Chains A and B, each alone.
Chain A
Amino acid sequence: GAVVSQHPSWVICKSGTSVKIECRSLDFQATTMFWYRQFPKQSLMLMATSNEGSKATYEQGVEKDKFLINHASLTLSTLTVTSAHPEDSSFYICSARTDRALGQPQHFGDGTRLSIL
């Protein structure tokens, strides 16, 4: 159980393009989803916390107008990288937890490798 599906796995696109990444919880309802960015050989950097039916909470330094997050249902959150540029190239991973209570593990999607030319 607790499967999270993330799509697409790979994106290669031109500079200036907007890219949408989907994160779905397949067999559970996720009241909270998280979006991370991971640079090579580094740890996960939390970008934002997405709560169903409310605005996402962005971490300091993350541009909310650049990285649009929508969590319209209990099973789907989307991250849109608007007008992407080469510096936005990275590995983006979403995760979800079944319960907001402390101590619940996060279940991760497979990640999206974004390459902006």
Chain B
Amino acid sequence: GQQVMQIPQYQHVQEGEDFTTYCNSSTTLSNIQWYKQRPGGHPVFLIQLVKSGEVKKQKRLTFQFGEAKKNSSLHITATQTTDVGTYFCASDSNYQLIWGAGTKLIIKP
């Protein structure tokens, strides 16, 4: 079945540094959704990408969907403590979401 691979598992950054997480699939994806889960919380929908090569921005967050619709990335510029959490990508398959493993953003003290 369809799988979505997400790396890295963890990323430690100093506050103010950038953060990037990547998702890849061996098959073409119909769409890619991104969610954020704060520690102890539930996933919250951030954005969806549908078109080949699509780029969307939300303030310091930039989301990209590859030309072949097989990969996606989330880039956060100048991280802040409020960005802490785990970021998941997910894609629709048979009306279910196939989830990436998530990337945990950790701000170094």
Contact = CB atoms under 8 A, between A and B. Distances in A.
Given A43-B100, A43-B102, A105 B42 contact: no
Nearest to B4: A43
A105 B41 contact: no
Interface residues of A, number: 20
B78 interface: no
Interface in A59-111: 93, 95, 100, 102-103, 105-111
B13 to A, nearest CB: 18
Interface string B67-98: 00000000000000000000010001001110
Contacts of A102: 30-31, 92, 95
Contacts of A49: 95-96
27 contacts: A32-B95, A34-B97, A41-B104, A42-B101, A42-B102, A43-B88, A43-B100, A43-B101, A44-B43, A44-B99, A46-B96, A46-B97, A49-B95, A49-B96, A93-B43, A95-B43, A100-B95, A102-B30, A102-B92, A103-B30, A103-B92, A105-B33, A106-B43, A106-B97, A108-B44, A110-B41, A111-B42
Interface of B: 30-31, 33, 41-45, 48, 50, 88, 92, 95-97, 99-102, 104
